[in-house]
Structure 1
Amino acid sequence: MIAKADDPTKTGKVYRSLKKGGFTGGPVTYGAFTSAWEALEGLELVTRSPGAPRFHSLGFDNKPMHLDGMGRASVFEATPKLLTLAHQHGVALEDISRHFEQDRGALQLRAYSMWKWSPRSGADSGTAPTKVRGAIVSFEPSARAAELEAQVTRLNDFLRNFTIRGGRFNGFYRGFNRGQEAGAFKWDRGGRLYAYGQDTYQSISQDGRALITINGEPTVEIDISASYLTVFHGLIKAPFDPREGTWERIDIDNKQVAKDWINFSLAKGTELQKWPRGSVREYRAQGIALARDYPIPTVRNAALTAFPALTKLEGSGLTWAELMYAEAEAIMTTMARLMDKGVPCLPVFDSIIIPLSQVRLATGVLYDAFYQRVGRPPLLKPKSALPGVDEQMAAAMDVDERWVNPFHL
């Protein structure tokens, strides 16, 4: 709350549901949280606006029905009295995270996401589905879980030796998904590294991340372009080289529309049959009527002509969860190999942030790790305007040099 109150880009409000089930598996229990905010409120250090459930008439005797999970969370705010007290005790915004470090689990497993119904906002009538994040699932200790935990712990211990400015970082955990049956889970779905806490470096804009420094040195972000599409081709053993041009090969005037159809389809594991409402709204703001200007059959035909392997999507058994796991494993391998050479690396899902002086090394390591895991070469692009970056990356990916120099194997 102190960080939110002192951040000019935020409203100062912290939202938290007080449902008991929402604390299961978290770092703070329901009882501890409730006791704390009630005491702080009594001391006039915190204010709270109670949450409220949403009700919606479903037409049965005109009686409203409570839709579980779709209520408005309670709102907490720090009072001026709390801010003054914190300042008097040396709690400053620039190092506030240091005061709230805590031991956290290195792994997190969540069940499937669910769809629930709630009143649709705005002028439209009727109801619309809302996606609710899967609940945290407890899992039994196993050799594989212990191995994964040790990997994350080692990375966290290593990165604590560096001073990271321009973005908050308090350690990682690996988030795995679709763990409905925790006892039978094979730790092969999801698996990305997420930075603990709110407002971390992963949540700021690309322009904001460009300002991150590690031990005072500027950094460069290297992105895996068309990652899921490349992973898909690799996992089904279909020929594909993104370096030969990816979206350019699609015969359609709006490449982004085709890219959206492909990415939605890959995520679902089945061909997209109808444009999502969110996409319709976004394109409408640009003067584009998706259903009229880019009907699904037209976009589908263009996409499948460019990438015939997508015809095998529905029988592949692959969704975003399996594709993400392959990508995450390549990132983990990259970080481990760089760590062994004393080089820090901060992941941002399908990209990595590394010190400017290590661009050439990191590019080669990431290239090989992805190629070895997926079976297809990645298309790596810099998200940086710093001079010399393009040349260093190109040199690192040169075939002759890559196989001669052993530093990234």
Structure 2
Amino acid sequence: MPEKVPPLRSNSSLGLMGGFRFPPEKLSRKAVGDSRYLNFLRAPSNPAAEALVAEIHRRVILAETYAEARTRARRADADRQLRAALGAIVGSLLLAWTETPPRAVSRSFDANTFTGEDIGYPAFVDAIHWMEKEYFLRRRRGGRLPDGSKGAASRFWPTEKLLTLAASYGIDTATVAADFGWRRSSSLKAPKVREAIVLQEIPPHPNAERGRKLRIDPHDLVASSLRAEVERLNAFAAGFDVTGCLPPRWQRKFKGNLQLYGRLHAVGDGNYQSMPLERRLNDIRINGESVVEVDISASHLSIMHALVGLPLPEGDPYAVPGFSRSTVKAWVNATLGKGSPVRKWPKDRLAKTPELAAVDPLEVMATVLKQYPWLSEPWRLATEFSAVAEPKRVLPHMLMGLESDIMLVVVQGLGKQGILGLPIHDGILVPANAAALTCDLIRAISRREIGLEFKLKTYSTTQNHSQSHFEGAYPCADA
């Protein structure tokens, strides 16, 4: 019998469960909708976390042995996959449970979704099965309605046994972000895109579950054109050597109708959109060349200016007297997301930015509306989509739709010059030598499409021998 893996740290000082909230036996409906995606690139990033995962691996193997579930031991490669799956699951569970409120994680059991993943379907299924059997996690099974109209991935959340074990290994709410980080994808296989475009309904309110999937008429000419655009983009990307992330392939998602939302989502674990900015810049290479990221400053606020026929103010659009930039940005973004002025800070916003609790949103509202009076009823700009959903609910999807249309044209414009751009919603990752061209394209296309030039910022790294160093943002040079 293998011996217990000893902890490399003393017990957590934050209590028996390391400061983690006590987990429920069942998830609320809201908690089901607020889950985080279980990413297979999560992994222990230091010896203390590795020891915890090794102990869970030991217990899983013992459980299999006692249950006589296997006639022979796993091969070395299969065992490595199981360890990697356990590390990804444990890290994802603990990190999601540090959020306010704690969140479950989600993952489909559809074997087709594992194409191109670093961790195979059998290893994932075994890891989940034995972690559940050993009472390290709880599961809410996914599935589809009988008519196939709506489906949901399985949800997982930690048990008190897992949280207590983690705390005994010195891993708690204060350390877990450093204990479990990201590893590079070893997969060179491009993920399979099952549907180039997807249409979902707009949920009736911000806290509602994800809208159900809507049928797209296969004979719809607009849909056929949109689908062909994504397929051409995926075929173009296949001709480039993109390293440091999963080979990029996209699916375009729409909400309500084919004019709303429209963002290009990179598919598969290890895709570049799921990576932190610094890792994207340090790790990713396009045909061997380092990359820069060009982002639109205050994208949705800029589009709102264009829709009401006003020029952008000089300087930072979020510069409002009496309040910090971050406070103004939080209020404006929450207002545009809600479709009407925010009079009370949303709970999720307070969880991410606790310092907002000391700021009266009514005072922010009064000051911002003096500068941007049309934000008193921003939903009025979305009334043309009243047949789709309430204009307040449509507004953010309309803004994202305009933004995504512009970014798609930018990607296509770069492609015509033989350059691969990797879109990130309100930004784009490009080879470093294409940064200036990309800025020029974004300005020209935004001017043509909405009558206003976006303000841009660029993120890059500096190279020092064999190391890359994150340099941060700087304004995109004027044309």
1:18-167 correspondence to structure 2 within 5 Å = 41=126, 47=130, 49=132, 51-52=138-139, 72-73=155-156, 96-99=186-189, 101-113=191-203, 131-141=208-218, 142-167=220-245
| Contact 1:174-1:194 within 8 A present in 2 as well | yes
| Contact 1:189-1:325 within 8 A present in 2 as well | yes
Structure 1 residue 324: Cα displacement = 0.2
Secondary structure at the aligned position of 2:214 is classed as coil
Q: Distance between the aligned counterparts of 1:7 and 1:150, measured in 2?
A: 40
Match status 1:239 vs 2:310: yes
TM-score, scaled to structure 1: 0.69
Q: Distance between the aligned counterparts of 1:224 and 1:218, measured in 2?
A: 20
| Contact 1:221-1:383 within 8 A present in 2 as well | yes
2:3 is aligned to none
Q: Distance between the aligned counterparts of 1:27 and 1:213, measured in 2?
A: 28
1:335 is aligned to 411
Match status 1:302 vs 2:367: yes
**Cα 1:153–1:273 shift into 2, 3 Å:** same
Q: Distance between the aligned counterparts of 1:384 and 1:224, measured in 2?
A: 15
Q: Distance between the aligned counterparts of 2:200 and 2:130, measured in 1?
A: 32
Cα distance per residue 1:319-342 (max 9 Å; x no partner): 110000000000000011110110
Secondary structure at the aligned position of 1:191 is classed as strand
2:267 is aligned to 196
Which amino acid in the other structure matches residue 240 of structure 1?
Answer: P
Q: Distance between the aligned counterparts of 2:339 and 2:458, measured in 1?
A: 29
Q: Distance between the aligned counterparts of 1:226 and 1:245, measured in 2?
A: 8
**Cα 1:204–1:6 shift into 2, 3 Å:** closer
Match status 1:314 vs 2:379: yes
Which of the residues 338, 359, 364 maps onto 1:268? 338
2:329 is aligned to 259
Q: Distance between the aligned counterparts of 1:154 and 1:72, measured in 2?
A: 34
| Contact 2:250-2:265 within 8 A present in 1 as well | yes
Cα distance per residue 1:87-145 (max 9 Å; x no partner): xxxxxx97754457434211011222367xxxxxxxxxxxxx95422232222121001
TM-score, scaled to structure 2: 0.60
Q: Using the TM superposition, name which of 136-145 and 222-231 deviates more.
A: 136-145
Secondary structure at the aligned position of 1:104 is classed as coil
Structure 1 residue 309: Cα displacement = 2.8
Indicate the percent of aligned positions where both proteins have the same amino acid. Answer: 24
Structure 1 residue 314: Cα displacement = 3.5
Give unpaired runs (5+ residues) of structure 2. 1-37, 47-83, 93-104, 115-120, 142-150, 159-182, 383-393, 464-470
Which amino acid in the other structure matches residue 201 of structure 1?
Answer: Y
| Contact 2:457-2:474 within 8 A present in 1 as well | no
**Cα 1:151–1:39 shift into 2, 3 Å:** closer
Structure 1 residue 216: Cα displacement = 0.8
Q: Distance between the aligned counterparts of 2:352 and 2:186, measured in 1?
A: 37
Structure 1 residue 268: Cα displacement = 1.7
1:327-406 correspondence to structure 2 within 5 Å = 327-386=403-462, 393-394=476-477, 397-398=478-479
Structure 1 residue 206: Cα displacement = 1.1
Secondary structure at the aligned position of 1:132 is classed as coil
| Contact 1:172-1:194 within 8 A present in 2 as well | yes
| Contact 2:189-2:246 within 8 A present in 1 as well | no
Structure 1 residue 40: Cα displacement = 6.8
2:65 is aligned to none
Q: Distance between the aligned counterparts of 1:197 and 1:350, measured in 2?
A: 20
Cα RMSD, aligned residues only: 3.8
